[in-house]
Amino acid sequence: MESTVSPEPLKPQKDPGPAIEEIIREFCRSSPENDLLFSASEPMFDEPLVGFSSAADPLYAFFKKDIGDPYTTPIDHFRAAFLDRTITAEDLSVIAWVLPLTRQTKNDNRKETAQPSERWARTRLFGEKFNVALANYVAGILNAQGTDALVPSLSPAARAGISQKYGMATSWSERHAAFVSGLGTFGLCDGLITKKGKAMRCGSVIARIAVPPTPRPYAGHHDWCLFYAKGTCKACIQRCPAGALSKQGHDKNRCREYLFGVTKPYILEKYNIDIYGCGLCQTKVPCESKNPVKK
């Protein structure tokens, strides 16, 4: 399904951020792709959060050093896509967004104890397709108006691999881009806790455009998690049906085994949707729909 949204052209301005943000918001409001595809139309996502960061932000270089291969910095993604350009990281901005799930989807998943609800499973499949469509839409608008832009998860440098420190990894992390762009910090289960909570999807575009970075309202990467900030909570540990969460963090392999070995067959049989998913650690927890540390 192709979008019918027709944006206004970006006009030259000192700060193009608000115009880019409105393009993202309007797509979410108006695109027919923001739909769970039940018999009656129902959106998957509420109003998005949008943030910006410089590709020269030292955190991106830190991720490359900390995660190692296969992580790829914004400038290296860009150079892989635009071979004939002479560019520096200072020329580029990362446009990041968070797509909060609807209250009904979260309510449904709260009731589950072992498998995802149908709304959650649909959002996992159709929501990611929408997220990719949004990214292509934003990059397409910028490119059409003479601003080089790309979707890092789809760039020539995009790939998966094994980090010696963290195990399974990819060349780009949407959650890390959102973190750098002021949209949230990480929780015990590795999910990103935003001001609208952890039940969300996120995406990004890298563009050759100067946008003032969004201030980060936190100092550390775990500041909005009750467990790390105050030593309390552990609700996500109790919610995990796979036993993949503990005070030591997230066991990626155990989580993956449950997703593909248990939830994927269940979702296909129960909902006739070919996707894996769970999300129990993102619902019925204090950080589901807000930053729980903020009073």
pLDDT at residue number 2: 47
Cβ(52)–Cβ(93) below 8 Å: yes
Least reliable range by pLDDT among 21-30, 56-65, 165-174, 212-221 = 165-174
The candidate with the shortest Cα–Cα distance to 82, out of 155, 179, 28, is 155
Instruction: Identify the band that residue 69 occupies on the pLDDT scale cut at 50, 70 and 90.
Output: very high
> Which residue has tokens 């989807």?
105
DSSP 154-176: GSTT--EEEETTTEEEES--HHH
Cβ(138)–Cβ(154) below 8 Å: no
- Across the chain, mean pLDDT equals 96
Return d(Cα 292, Cα 220) in angstroms, integer: 15
* pTM listed for this prediction: 0.94
pLDDT of 13 above 70: no
Cβ(230)–Cβ(249) below 8 Å: no
Return d(Cα 291, Cα 219) in angstroms, integer: 15
> Which residue has tokens 């799930």?
101
pLDDT at residue number 11: 57
From residue 89, give the alpha-carbon distance in Å to each of 22, 78, 96: 25, 9, 16
